[in-house]
Structure 1
Amino acid sequence: MPHPSQVQVREHAALVDDLRTLTPAQWRSRSLCGDWTVEDVVAHLGAASTSTFWGWLRSMAGARFDADLHNQRRLEEFRADSAEQTLERYAAVGPIALPRTESVAGLGELLVHAEDIRRPLGLAHRPDAEGLLMVARFFATRDFAVNSRSLVKGLRLIATDADFRTGDGPTASGPLLSLVMAMAGRREVLADLAGDGVPVLDARLTA
């Protein structure tokens, strides 16, 4: 298996290449990440990539451990005067090292948010297969940043395009990237999945 940070370097470069093709209207369009625009998500990724663990902890404490407030403050700090300048700042950053460089968490953050950007814009990308599999296994076994493990508790997930099966119970099957996005709380990908576990996921994501 490659090191998560090595996969991040490649996926970061691929995302930057896609971002360089965007029009001003696309930069202002909504992502899959709540009310955030494409530029907001890029600024969030840039802020995460330039944060140390202790800097993150101080910021969270300053926001009284309100993750939404912390994220909004940090992305606003990273965002530049224009989308083009925000992109150039993002192009210069390295891998997300939170909570530490060997963690899969940073890779998961990048892959999910990259799809938050690409999917609404109709940009197709196949993430690194081994890296995506690492993220899927991480999300299925841990609640970190997103409550992925709790979300799929009591469900069986089966990838139709990779060697990934986990859990027991009603089944949700489909492309591995869609399963990862579902575990990250993105209801929009449920149309890609099949099985009697999909309505259960739908109910949990809309609760």
Structure 2
Amino acid sequence: MDVDQHWRIIAEQRRAIAHLLTALTPQELDSPSLCEGWRIRDVAAHVALAPQPPGPLGMLREAARARGSFHRLNHDIAVRHADATPDPAADLSAVADSRRLPAVTNYRNIHYDVIVHAQDIARPLGHTIPVDPTASAVAAQRVWTMGWPFWAKRRLRGITLVAEDSTWTAGSGPEVRGTTLDLLLLLTGRPSTVTGPGLAHL
């Protein structure tokens, strides 16, 4: 998958999230996402902030507030943005096609990030945001090989991951099978629908 294909998927997923947000009630926006401690609106804000990050001084202030914790920094920035954004769908739609990046990441990371966060938002509410299996496979391979923050290869050692809707596979040992998207969610520590004898090793 080349750079333009990555960005096409990113834009499609951002627009799909924004479309779903337009149909949610305030109560649903305040309900829990798949990310522990994050509301639906907080995850949406996090996705929208990727192409509009705080400047260097703003990041320094946020880092000081978070006392050096990257996870707390991410969470608190998203919560403040969510609370200050009356229309999260419009906020995300406005930046859907942006290719601007925070200095600390790259488009490959934004690619898997937006795919996973789309599911963080959709699945707890019983909705579906479809993803092309090829795009999910590229995202899964990125997470499998990258180490921090998921350490997927270490956490899932001793099993073979086998996608049922693409050619993606990884690891060795008893099999765990599922859609490529569900395997991606497993890699990133989310609930997922997977089967196989390898489940006993998780």
For this structure pair, what is the TM-score category when the shorter chain's length is used for normalisation? 0.7 to 0.9
**Superposed displacement of residue 78, structure 1:** 1.9
Secondary structure of 1:154's counterpart equals coil
Instruction: Flag the structure with more relative contact order, 1 or 2, with Cα contacts below 8 A and sequence separation at least 6.
Output: 2
What is the alpha-carbon distance in structure 2 between the residues aligned to residue 142 and residue 55 of structure 1? 28
CA contact (8 A) 1:154 1:167 kept: yes
Spell out, residue by residue over 1:11-42, the C-alpha distance to the aligned partner (whole angstroms, 9 max, x if none). 11111111111122211211111021111111
For 1:200, the aligned partner's letter is H
Partner of 1:183: 187
SS in structure 2 of the partner of residue 179 of structure 1: helix
C-alpha contact 1:53 1:100 (8 A) present in aligned 2: no
Give the equivalent residue in structure 1 for 2:69. Answer: 66
Q: Does 1:162 align with 2:163?
A: no
Are the aligned partners of 2:133 and 2:165 in contact in 1 as well (CA < 8 Å)?
no
Say what the alpha-carbon RMSD is for the aligned residues: 2.4
CA contact (8 A) 2:17 2:129 kept: no
Residue aligned with 1:135, SS: helix
Distance in 2, Cα, partners of 1:53 & 1:139: 27
**Contact 2:15/2:92 (CA < 8 Å) preserved in 1?**
no
TM superposition shift of 1:59: 6.3
Give yes or no for the alignment of 1:118 onto 2:119: no
1:145 CA displacement:
3.0
- 1:78 equivalent to 2:81? Answer yes
Structure 2 residue runs of 5 or longer lacking an equivalent are none
Q: Among residues 15, 18, 28, which one is paired with 1:16 in the alignment?
A: 18
CA offsets 1:149-178 (integer angstroms, 9 cap, x no match): 222223210001111111111211111111
Tell me, yes or no, if the aligned pair for 1:46 and 1:90 is still in contact at 8 Å.
yes
> Aligned partners of 2:48 and 2:41: how far apart in 1?
10
Quick check: 1:59–1:70 contact (8 Å CA) kept in 2?
no
5+ residue gaps, structure 1, are 202-207
- Closer/same/farther in 2, CA of residues 175 and 49 from structure 1, 3 Å limit: same
Match of 1:173 among 167, 172, 177: 177
Q: What secondary structure sits across from 1:162 in the alignment?
A: coil
Residue of structure 1 equivalent to 2:135? 131
TM-score by length of 1: 0.83
Question: What code does the residue aligned with 2:200 have?
Answer: P
The structural deviation recorded for 1:5 is: 2.0
| Aligned 8 A contact 2:163 2:169 in 1 | yes
